[in-house]
Amino acid sequence: MDSTETARRLEALGNATRLEIFRTLVRAGPDGLPVGEIQSRTGTARSTLSHHLHKLIAVDLVRQERDGTTLYCHANYSEMQATIDYLTRECCADARGKSCDAA
């Protein structure tokens, strides 16, 4: 994970609709959700939802798989964690002995 990839992911999550979609998938757990269920839970129009999902897929935060005629979306937890780890890897590294909790 590098700063360019992290920036791309944060940019994708910087849209309120995409953030809501991603959080909905994170809450759904490893089984994911069918696209229609994501649409129902977020109130996002199907064409708009497709656009936002493709943006999240492009930065590897979401993956899709088909089961028959149903398209399921899943949060990519390992990439989500890698992004969080990148942001916190050097937490308080320059704090000169102060605890991060004291900040």
pLDDT at 94: 86
User: Which tokens is 78 given?
Assistant: 């390992």
DSSP letter for 55, please. Answer: H
**57-93 pLDDT tens trace:** 999 999 999 999 999 999 999 999 999 999 999 888 8
Q: Which of 34, 36, 16, 43 is nearest to 72 (CA)?
A: 34
Q: Considering the entire predicted model, what is its pTM?
A: 0.89
Average pLDDT over residues 20-40: 98
Beta bridge partners of 7: none
Q: Is the pLDDT of residue 98 over 80?
A: no
The pLDDT of residue 95? 82
pLDDT at 22 over 80: yes
The CA-atom distances, in angstroms, between 12 and each of 41, 55, 62, 63, 77 are 20, 7, 11, 14, 16
Instruction: Please say whether the beta carbons of 72 and 32 come within 8 A.
Output: yes
